[in-house]
Structure 1
């Protein structure tokens, strides 16, 4: 018993002596064991400072930047369920730091590092990120904190250099007093934001997403209003600021369903004052602390440089770059039989841009084609690999109800593009927005329904689940009718792929929203939701409101769909048999839904009546 108690006491003492005792796994360079520190860039240690994992120079890989204007940089990817980021890696070049499979609860002071350009944390394994101790470096250009349960942004004064900010899917409630004039891409969708006030944006803004929030107060100055009006991609839900916009401010429209409150004068000065309003003592403390930390960091950096021979570092980087290039070549070799001469292709007109890619109208040997590309600057290893998978899957599909793949083209891997048949009518969502039941009669809609159903019959016969069926992914043509497209998240049916929930929430089946095992019936559910779009010409659930009259946000919709207490509207004038078919398709129990063959048969029977 005495021995056990002594052993327990020793363990407790060891834990107390460890600077990282509060967490099971901490990422640190300072805490790396002294004997290996000259050879490593980063360490993972446990609560007793026991080494769990190391990352050396060979872990650096060349990766494209998220900002199209920024060149590729070396990236360190930390794939481990760490809980704390105590300090930055011992990397001496400009780099990107990416955390995968993490459960980060705390990020400490990283302000001393001046070569960290990108910090990326996505889907934080449901762990809540506390930024109370966080100080980001002012050198940071790109920040992604998605799915971290974040409630507020880090210190606003340290975000002024950002060109890319993505805080999608968090618990943020307010965005205010921010100078983001350098940002070109901004995403804060699927939060709980009610207030967007005094956020300065610049003329370089190209992408802005604030969907799926609860905005009641949206106040910007004229310069920011102009930036929002001119941005290429503006994604906003309905916003009504009539009750919060006070004189001399004016209510002005941003788009057809969002009005914002615009001040008569610039708010930039007040943003700067709010972000830097610290007392003299606080400023002095910060300066002293920064000097001390910078001194420590420089000392560590000098020590690392002396001990780590530059020749071995260059050799490791050369080896990594060769491996990286070989991997891309290997991936693109699988497209060799699909490769088209890129000199025979010409992009003529920009058509659309989504979260991951662009579509252009072009010509191939004089014939109109659609060119699908990755977003500029987003051609990372994983993005290219996923794009290759999409092209290979499309190459296996041949049906009059599926948009046909013509081939693939590239000069270098980052410029890979998918060449598809051109559909001159655009996507069904755009058609529905531009028409009503008179100009788009049910006789035509039924033919479209049959084409979509036949497309599903074909896909399911090939053991493929579309997984993202919605009006945006149905293309129409004046001569060829309707066809299914966008197989970026489609997968062949395997045990692994059938437990990964992807797609767009409002069209997702309950079992997909719960991330459970699902089958082709998930596509049938999405087809039922698509029928509601044909009936109303509106996005599903846009007419649903809370008891207080506010539009339902996606989180509320998701919960009610899972519980089976919410269904989309179909409209009183819609054919009864269409509504009946739709209700069968969106049955809560997947086993109660018809399969695609049965759906197509029921529609075909109606076309013969």
Structure 2
């Protein structure tokens, strides 16, 4: 080979290596070959004229198009230097993905307009979107989106306080939104439900106008100052929405509300607004914008135990009893269709049983077959042995206590962060005045949680205290609320998903029962959900009003209790199996147990009547005709009046797994015959 050939070959190899290096450095190589990705990159985008730092690139980071930038200001929300970005007129393709825009530092607001004519087309890819910290306003317009589009984005470094989505084809709320946002606008979409949507501490202004919402229900909006629901023509129900005197503007124009149910605090918040039909008002005015009258739904109000109240002379609501805000742990509920978990080995439980019995006997003794209030009141110095908690004690400096999510007679649950990770924090109400018995009970509960190591029981992260009375339990964060809310908000939840939750619940019972521990308060409110971790047992009874208050609204703990517990007799782990049978009825009907039962006058049964009938053995929860027959039969066994006739948790788990195995075999046989 002559020198010329060598030089040509060497040059070719160098060019090839350079090409490989460029390709490997491009972060978008997994995108489709015809992707058009919006990026901010001076090396790629700047033309000879040096006109823009923004452009469109393909999956190999090659420039494939320019963008047009239109500056404007949105002074009414405080951002002057805002730009709208659209594909240049010469481009034939719209924006299909958003990449790294962190080099765009000269603008405070950014609108990305994909110019998609079909909002239900292929969703815009935003996985690799990065923004400069100078960007405080972000709007995504005419770009097809899916509720899960933002799931893989880490908003922790985001400075976005104003987030707008319009004409994106969204049928439900996105499941991961920037928690730095104080103003959220999702308008001109196809929203039909707000299931799983939870506000956050920073959010003050919410605009959901021009959607297809049918019902706004069971939401805590007490933090919001501005609410806009205009032009949702199918919106007929506004029920159980918590509002507060922080509310300064509420607009419900172009809707057809016919069933409005609010508690007194929320109704007073609406009544305090000045009625107006003129949208051109002073920003400081406290205003209610509404056009159509609200007719009164007397039957629905009677069923809810409410009374009629008229607001602003022409707007009828049902005033329902005050209820504590639900403890919505977070953020958006994501329900995937997952199969039944199979194969939990009994040997694992036996091993854990031996290990935990040896080390935690003192913890168990205060929880075995004993009423909740059985702890004796002794001197704090001798009864509060905190030595067992030393190993799980956390540094108080690493813990941030946030917004209170639920409070009851004895306890408070707050959102928080530990070492910048989300957690739930439980503490005693009015700790300085807490009774010694309450402190003892709380410490014993923390000791029990410290002893439990199960993927189906909410984990104790640790605890913090300076003195026993200010003890805080730091608990695992579950991002999808509780089972009660899930069933109420998802009438079409699939049976595979329900059975997956049931398997998790039973697995949790197997674990604690091998420790001879009785849960004592198993119900849908004490089963919390996570989008990836499934269902877990928890016990936040002291953070919820489960006795006198809930007796009046029909969701009291008594509805889940076994007869022997109601009689205050000694009871065993079989009491939890009875409660499990009640939970199965909830999974089937999605209704609060016995809520369909009426007395002789046609009124719903109150808890006192239910207790009496359960004690006499004359009342069992309802099951629907769509409940799988094998599951109905299993639930009936769990609901046996005689505790000795109920199956154990291990037997229930075996039955669940056997059904799953039988179905798997049937499916294989069917496929082999095709």
Rg (Cα) greater in structure: 2
- TM-score norm. by structure 1 comes to 0.46
What is the TM-score with the length of structure 2 in the denominator?
A: 0.42
